[in-house]
Amino acid sequence: MIDKFTTDKTAELVIEGQKYSLPIIEGSEGEKAIDIRNLRQDTGYITLDKGYMNTGSCTSGITYLDGAKGILSYRGYSIEDLAENCSFVEVAYLLLHGHLPTDDEYQHFSYLLGRFALIHEDMIHFFDHFPPNAAPMAILSSMVNSLSNFYPEMTENPLEDIDIMATRLISKVRTIAAFTYKKSMGSPLVYPRHDLSYCANFLNMMFDSPVKPYAINDDVVRALNKILILHADHEQNCSTSTVRLVGSARVNLYASISAGISALWGPLHGGANQAVVEMLEDIYESDGDYQNYINRAKDPSDPFRLVGFGHRVYKSHDPRSRIIKAACDEVLDTLKVSDPLLDIAKELEEVTLNDEFFIERNLYPNVDFYSGIIYRAIGIPSNMFTVMFALGRLPGWIAQWKEMWDDPDWRIGRPRQIYIGPKRRPLTPKEERKKRESDT
């Protein structure tokens, strides 16, 4: 893939008077990169880029993101078109195969999702041995990792049938997530049904009860489809990079995804929508005085920051936020939910969009700002929000893992470092040590 996009242009690097010529690579959407793969070999130098802000770890044909213009696309399709016209299952197929499914392909993929929806009955006993207040993400990560023991055939030739591999994981994670919630509530498990769509099945497993059957609401199903689509992939973020890095050691898919789930668990990554709701709750409990929180966010001496505003990559509007805001309004209207947190959220958005402080710093509402409100309206508790994020991101993780595994230019991930510790020093015999060696 590198050779295909290598240009005839080069960058000139001068180190201690010596000139070096570095190839320039241009992506299909015009992104440019300086190829430094031979830098250390040719010069003895490496680059230092904390947080990998300027480092491309791979080439990929899955997701394109332009943070300056607020553009996001999967396999060339805009996120707006996909969210409006496709189901989550179609988008999952697109990410895995590079094209939207035909009707036959869609039917087969959906059939496999139904076929693999059940988890092994022995796995259900695992839930009984977690502490009562165990974090759902900890349970999810552990359960996904254990799948490799129940389905070891997928570790032998994982790319032999990508649909079986992908649908087995996508479907079972949905069931594991719903069972995790039911166990936390002390409620009887609800098994998946063959006659329901992917999202409808999940909602039914979450909320159906022997004493109160769950009524499937099409508007809620559509909203959930959109949320999952919006989260399906997002280039080389923390969790996706983790999946690729772990997988580069030729670790099985389940272990790689389990590692990605753990990375997503972080409050600075997948936990942001839960943090948004907690912030809105704090504002509500403070008599709804959102202006005080805005003032605190603008105060350079106050470490407080508004959660759900701004993005590491997007320097304009997050294209997903407009879609999810419309879905939020639709769900609340359909369910006749009057949520004071939504009123506070709208006030915050209105003020920040017209305040020069936030405009100058590109602190626009992002996708996490409204997703938690939707989940609250549906009935999903805040400690399950990040699990929902993982459910949506799963097809992207699998597609990224597959792309990495199938890359002829694959290399095991092994970042370098600049050592800043003590210089080489002699070891002092124990009986002669009078103070800490680090103090010398």
| Residues recognised as catalytic | 311, 368
Angle at 282 between CA 277 and CA 288, to 5 degrees: 105
Give how far the C-alpha of residue 121 lies from the chain's centroid of Cα atoms, to the nearest Å: 29
Neighbours of 59 (CB within 10 A): 15
**Secondary structure E strands in 299-355:** none
- Classify residue 213 by its DSSP letter: P
Q: Give me the long-range contacts of 32-39 (CB less than 8 A, separation at least 24).
A: 35/2, 35/6
Closest-CA residue to 111 (of 76, 163, 177, 176)? 163
The CA-based dihedral angle spanning residues 57, 58, 60, 64, taken in that order and rounded to the nearest 10 degrees: 30
How far apart (Å, rounded) are the C-alpha atoms in residues 13 and 17?
10
- Helix 368-378 to helix 385-405 angle (10° resolution) is 120
For the beta carbon of residue 65, count every other beta carbon within 10 angstroms: 20
SS3 state at 69: coil
Q: How far apart are CA 326 and CA 84, in angstroms?
A: 11
Residue 173: closest CA among 247, 257, 89, 96: 257
Tokens of 37: 């793969």
Question: What are the strands of the beta sheet with 63-66, ordered from one edge?
Answer: 63-66, 71-74, 77-78
Instruction: Give the span between the Cα atoms of 189 and 262, in whole angstroms.
Output: 25
Sign of torsion, CA 33 37 38 43?
positive
Strand partners, 20: 13
Reading the block at residue 439, the tokens are 């103090």
CA 2 – CA 60 distance, rounded (Å): 10
Burial of residue 88 (CB within 10 Å: 0-12, 13-18, 19+) is: buried
For 256, the token pair is: 């790689």
In the numeric block, which tokens belong to residue 10? 């080069």
